[in-house]
A and B are shown apart, each in its own frame.
Chain A
């Protein structure tokens, strides 16, 4: 195969789907063929059956909705704080010098380790779940955006100055629009990470949500339900990613033209 040579769209789709097929086929083979113990891994068919029962009898879709709300709520909270802060850090170097060392440190604090503290402070209600996602996302967003904004093309800034822009004009009408697509792209990336935090938050001290269902199923050895829950998370993640991408494309036509 020639390196870096592009592949046609048709072949790309076929190859992409065929891995899923192989994956499920392998799964079916080791489970239905009796190569692993049923207690540890459910087969695809009982996974679907368990999933159907979850949705119809156990009103699992309510758990799905509450998890989605937690992800977007916490993520929105983090974005509202982090985006302006990141822009300020990127644009004004004293602000960066002031905050960057702390944010770099805070970024490595694992969000899941905060759960016991957050439960002490905020109880086991919705606020605690939102805060876990907030803690997990906010520092990441701040840092990435600060770096992107700091890399704003200097020649565009110079051109704006020679056209009469003031310092605030540079920030509002050059730095912000120039980096808007990158900022949106960063948010899309971090939203993906927020999905891993929400499940961790729901595994501990929770009575609803996809994560709660998963931990609950573990005690009953319902591996079919666990796998179904994981797949639902994957599908929702994929859908929100597609939606986010399409939204960005619609918002910033100039960046792809």
Chain B
């Protein structure tokens, strides 16, 4: 059963000052099965973030449509949780209040909210930081809170737009394991955009490689590495083989971007 269906979605930006319109995204078709973890891998500017934002309903597609559980997406909504690359915690709310934001918008009573929030605080390992302001947290902790905030709403699908892109390498590795651990335990349909090849393989059950702008799907690679995955997996021969293959795919695209 497909959870998410992307049908012929393309995006063209109007030309600047009477210039030629810019095609950012060629028509894309993609079917996402329930509880799949899909990473979308592509060079900078290939339109992968645009695709994710169209799924989120934050941007409109020029052609085609997005169906979630058979219903067309027209605007953003709580059924599609999103984690952004930039730090988007509400600075006037504490960690706990940030995680509770979606529940509050839905009108859940405070008593009930507290229980849900506590469980997600534990899930992302932020016990003891519930009453901190976002400014007092490190980048990694802020993104953990952002993940908890998106998950607390119990969305049908979780969308992540290079969520660990601004973090240092070590923190990024830990965050990957944390998110993957949550996915292994809780089962959730995930669409994860990244330009990091290792990250794309490590997290995914399926990697979608996109071409340079205008973006199309270049290859669709199933990742059959066993779960639960441990960081040592990144040095295994199977992982290296996948990495070599995807590196070759993405390298051609990166070179095209550099020459364009």
**Which residues of A pack against B, CB within 8 Å?**
155-156, 158-166, 169, 173-174, 177-178, 180, 252-255, 257
**Docked-complex contact A164 and B91, CB < 8 angstroms:** no
Q: How long is the Cα–Cα vector from A158 to B159 in the complex, in angstroms?
A: 13
List the A side residues contacting B247 at CB < 8 Å. none
Other-chain residue from B57, B91, B93 in contact with A255 (beta carbon distance below 8 A): B91
Min CB–CB distance A153 → chain B (angstroms): 8
Q: How long is the Cα–Cα vector from A255 to B76 in the complex, in angstroms?
A: 28
Shortest Cβ-Cβ A-B pairs, 3 listed: A164-B78, A163-B102, A161-B76
Question: Contacts A253-B133, A254-B133, A257-B136 given: A165-B105 contact, CB under 8 Å?
Answer: yes
Min CB–CB distance A251 → chain B (angstroms): 11
- Kindly state whether residue B150 has any CB partner on chain A within 8 Å: yes
**Docked-complex contact B90 and A156, CB < 8 angstroms:** yes
List the B side residues contacting A255 at CB < 8 Å. 91-92
Chain-A contact segment, one of B81-89, B210-218, B221-229, B238-246: B81-89
Known pairs A161-B75, A162-B82, A164-B153 / 13 extra A-B pairs, C-beta < 8 Å: A158-B76, A158-B82, A159-B90, A160-B101, A161-B58, A161-B77, A162-B150, A163-B149, A165-B105, A178-B90, A253-B133, A254-B92, A254-B133
Other-chain residue from B86, B92, B93, B106 in contact with A155 (beta carbon distance below 8 A): B86
**Docked-complex contact A155 and B84, CB < 8 angstroms:** yes
Q: How long is the Cα–Cα vector from A252 to B135 in the complex, in angstroms?
A: 13
A interface secondary structure, majority: helix
For A162, A166, A180, A254, which residue has the most chain B Cβ atoms within 10 angstroms? A162
List the A side residues contacting B80 at CB < 8 Å. 162
A180 nearest in chain B by CB position: B92
**Docked-complex contact A159 and B105, CB < 8 angstroms:** no
A153 nearest in chain B by CB position: B88
List the B side residues contacting A253 at CB < 8 Å. 133
16 A-B pairs, CB-CB below 8 angstroms? A159-B82, A160-B90, A161-B58, A161-B75, A162-B78, A162-B80, A162-B81, A163-B150, A164-B77, A164-B106, A173-B101, A174-B90, A177-B93, A254-B92, A254-B93, A257-B135
Contact indicator per residue, chain B 130-164, by CB within 8 Å of chain A (1) or not (0): 00011110000000001001100100000100000
- Kindly state whether residue B56 has any CB partner on chain A within 8 Å: yes
Min CB–CB distance B175 → chain A (angstroms): 18
List the A side residues contacting B77 at CB < 8 Å. 161-162, 164
Q: How long is the Cα–Cα vector from A169 to B93 in the complex, in angstroms?
A: 15
List the A side residues contacting B57 at CB < 8 Å. 161-162
List the A side residues contacting B56 at CB < 8 Å. 162
**Docked-complex contact B135 and A162, CB < 8 angstroms:** no
**Docked-complex contact B91 and A159, CB < 8 angstroms:** no
Contact indicator per residue, chain B 29-66, by CB within 8 Å of chain A (1) or not (0): 00000000000000000000000000011100000000
